Structure 1
């Protein structure tokens, strides 16, 4: 069976993990490149359909016509990485999400929280299933790495490295990271955030030659309480060769999400058996509970309790326990791929 993904492949390789074990052929392309022979149209990231650029009214009209055309010969399956874009201040993608909700024939939820809270927003004929996010196993198989130290001016030797992977999309996420970092009772701690300040929009009236100074002012504003030799922030999307080295060297990972349904960072941490501070949100709660991992209650702010419990996991050798290693198999990409194939096959049986 050929599965059409109506956008270019995302830099997040989680779908590649599934594709490598799937019996189906996944084809990526512009949404206008659809062909009748595709049995499944699998939408992963709605914003990517328009290359992460705000669609015009005309484009939205054409997209709805495309959706109606797809439904004649294919089944539309939405993998719900999120129900909507929480950090889209101008709501430029809200209509795209609404159209996908309206016309989906099937929805893959990445956890029970998603299914319980969002099934009602789809048509009564839409089929729903839970298929979890896979581990990033391909990154562990003799993956060629580059040293993160080459990008960081501070010597990382003997540092307790705390990392927050992924773009930081709001001031609230930034505050969460800094609050956790400051509360860690560790002297040689060092914070690395490769894509900090993604939420900062530089005003158009600031000339390009002054923008690097503007960024420095922003950094000083938010990080005045940190010593410069305590952190390294950047604005780049790390190549996986550097990312893998950073994760391997990290003593602790912070999952810096407060609104999201899901976060691939959680599964990245599980892949490499890393200590993590995990917020109690969305589907993350279910996965953390499955492994018996502590959760940070963002309302009650149980920082001290959670930090203590997380650090104790290392001394208790939790990540080398037979139970933990056995539980990880539940999220192996091969199993997740079989679940995808089964759901696609089920939908393919319906006319």
Structure 2
């Protein structure tokens, strides 16, 4: 079995594809994987049994329009290559490009199978694409990457933060002014003894990134905003991430528009209580697992109080047990492998 993926692992901002394919290879060592978007546009694609499309909006550019992609996928299918898509988004994030929006639509429509990370997107797309097989394959946890979550005491020492606080972790890029406003509101309304860690926020707060801010960063590594929000100017690397997860009791997903989030599975795997928006697959999974959802930012401070109590009562440990039982790399890899094999037989 030979599978061509439409993206490069080297350019990925998260380890989703690399860890998933490693887990599949563990289940089926003979499987051959290639990660290359350029091969879609030449004859190399015909050497593969399956073309698996991830984030189809990135397949279009100045050289290739969405209509070019549509015709190319039709040609690829006519030559006997099966097409699978993973539904990461219903549409590109905060994107005004009709070309990119059409690319998503055309890729889903050309697929033999769409892998969904939750039931919500199946319900959204099954009527739009009735001739496509829709399969529920959840987002896997990174249990083979983060094999050891340190204690909170170890994490505090490593990060240079006090163990006398409850910490809320907000990971990922800040995508809009709305998200900045959400974090600003939450930070202003945190109770004494609670701090929020939002590594990417300082990159998005405009004029506040002044000489004083720079000085404080290089001197202390951390910026405190409203005295309750900590940012360390950038993306947390894979070596430090377990310490941030360990120091936190709560994971807050700061999105207002979202379908899926790896931070949900990441937080639950780490034993955090999770708060997120009541939309998309994220909202459905949080409700199903007994975590917390919000419809507007002004609900979040109350939910943080509830989540703190839940964390002290063992909700984080039950979240971790659920994640290990239902979203392990091995479990999800077997589901993907079965999906591939069903196409080939």
- Identify the TM-score tier after normalising by the shorter chain: 0.7 to 0.9
Per-residue deviation, 1:113: 0.6
Aligned pairs for 1:156-235 (under 5 A) are 156-185=162-191, 187-196=192-201, 215-216=209-210, 227=225, 229-235=227-233
Q: For the residues of structure 2 that align with 1:137 and 1:307, how far apart are their CA atoms?
A: 26
Q: Which runs of 5+ in 1 are unaligned?
A: 201-211, 220-225
Q: What is the CA-CA distance between 1:181 and the residue it aligns to?
A: 3.4
Q: TM-score, normalized by length of structure 2?
A: 0.81
Sort the Cα spacing of 1:339 and 1:229 in 2 relative to 1 into closer, same or farther, 3 A: same
Is the partner of 2:74 in helix, strand or coil?
helix
Give the match for residue 220 of structure 2: none
Q: How far apart are the structure 1 equivalents of 2:282 and 2:233?
A: 26
Contact 1:247-1:269 at 8 Å conserved across structures: yes
SS at match of 1:175: helix
**Correspondence for 2:4:** 4
**TM-aligned CA deviation for residue 107 of structure 1:** 0.6
Of 310, 314, 332, the residue aligned with 1:317 is 314
Q: Give a deviation string over 1:309-330, Cα, whole Å, max 9, x none.
A: 2112122122335x96256411
Correspondence 1:58-207 to 2 at 5 A: 58-72=64-78, 73-91=80-98, 93-122=100-129, 124-142=130-148, 155-185=161-191, 187-196=192-201
User: What count of residue pairs does the alignment treat as equivalent?
Assistant: 320
Partner of 1:337: 333
Which of 49, 57, 78 pairs up with 1:39?
A: 49
TM-score (norm 1): 0.80
How many Å apart are 1:235 and its aligned residue?
4.8
Q: In structure 2, how many angstroms separate the alpha carbons of the residues matched to 1:17 and 1:328? A: 15
What is the CA-CA distance between 1:151 and the residue it aligns to? 11
> Secondary structure of the residue that 1:43 maps to in structure 2?
strand
**Does the Cα contact within 8 Å between 1:257 and 1:263 map onto a contact in 2?**
no
Unmatched 5+ stretches in structure 2: 214-223
* SS of aligned partner of 1:137: coil
Provide the aligned C-alpha RMSD in A.
Answer: 3.1
Shift of 1:112: 0.8
